[in-house]
Amino acid sequence: MVIVNPEFIKLIKETNSLKEKLCQKIVERESLIFHECKNMKLEYMLRIGNLEYDLMKKQNELLVLKRIKELEKTKKYSEEEIGKKIEIEFSEFKAMEKKLLNDIDIAIDLSMTNLLENEEIKRLNNVYYKLQLILNPDLKLTSSEKEDELFECVKKNYKKGNIKKLEKILEGYKDETIVDEYDNLSKLRNRYSLLIAENQKIITKIKMSFPYNQKDTLQDNNLLRRKKDEINSKIYAYDEEIKKIKKK
């Protein structure tokens, strides 16, 4: 009769449970980075991007005019010298304008391609989760070179949204419960716990940042209209201030 240590059984269950949780966090993180946030940014740029660009241009124009006024008051610089100083001091602002305009152009181009819909992303994530369980080298103490190469292929196809390719790779594979020596399981349990915490930090940061922090606005037409009104009000206010300075 074989007597199994209850602590060992408990460790096996804990380790496998943490493994599954870690895979969920990895998939959630990568789904946000490569698919969900990409779609949100595209939608934001298409619906609000042009207004944001107009606002940025007005802000920068006002700052430039105020700076010119400051430099003129000193009576130290010629018109040509002021122009050169402005060009240097506001080069970063111009770069920001250019980047935003480029983001809008990219969004327009992407809108003409076949991006994954929410249901397709769910299907993709489901397959990717299963492949993470089987192939991710971070989930094992050791892995073969062949497995590592295959996992790199999995990641590349996930980023591309190639569901059929991932499903093909998954065929013939089956995840198995981890059963190993006590010390090895303890190492894996500790590693999983650390990686879960690290991934959660990344996920939280993503969700607090653009474009994910605009998710509610994009999903609610009232919030979207309110945001557009706020931006238009700011543009109008900047425009009026610019007119006053130019008039003077």
pLDDT 10s digits, 220-236? 999 999 999 999 999 99
Question: What confidence category does residue 167 fall into, taking pLDDT thresholds of 50, 70 and 90?
Answer: very high
Asked if 238 and 59 count as a contact pair (C-beta separation under 8 A), the reply is: yes
The residue behind tokens 């994910």 is 212
* 18-38 residue pLDDT tens: 999 999 999 999 999 999 999
Q: Provide the token pair at 76.
A: 């130290």
d(CA 20, CA 132): 9
Question: Is the model's pLDDT at 177 over the cut of 60?
Answer: no
> Is residue 59 a part of any domain in this protein?
no
Mean per-residue pLDDT for 185-197? 94
> Is residue 214 a part of any domain in this protein?
yes
Question: Is the model's pLDDT at 3 over the cut of 80?
Answer: no
Quick count: other Cβ atoms within 10 Å of Cβ 192?
23
Nearest one of 201, 38, 24 to 128, comparing CA atoms: 24
Please, which residues have CB within 8 angstroms of residue 35's CB and are 6 or more apart in sequence? 116, 121, 124, 161
Question: What confidence category does residue 2 fall into, taking pLDDT thresholds of 50, 70 and 90?
Answer: very low
Question: Is the model's pLDDT at 1 over the cut of 50?
Answer: no
Number of domains in the chain: 1
Phi, then psi, of 174 in degrees rounded to 5: -145, 125
Question: What confidence category does residue 202 fall into, taking pLDDT thresholds of 50, 70 and 90?
Answer: very high
Q: Indicate the pTM of the whole model.
A: 0.86
> Is residue 58 a part of any domain in this protein?
no
- For residue 211, is the peptide bond before it cis, meaning its omega torsion is within 30 degrees of 0? yes
Nearest one of 32, 56, 49 to 108, comparing CA atoms: 49
> Is residue 92 a part of any domain in this protein?
no
Range of the domain at 41: 6-46+117-247
> Is residue 102 a part of any domain in this protein?
no
Mean per-residue pLDDT for 50-55? 97
- What is the predicted pLDDT for the residue at 180? 62
Question: Is the model's pLDDT at 124 over the cut of 60?
Answer: yes
What is the CB-side half-sphere exposure of residue 217 using CA atoms within 13 A? 19
* 125-150 residue pLDDT tens: 999 999 999 999 988 888 889 889 99
Average pLDDT, the chain: 92
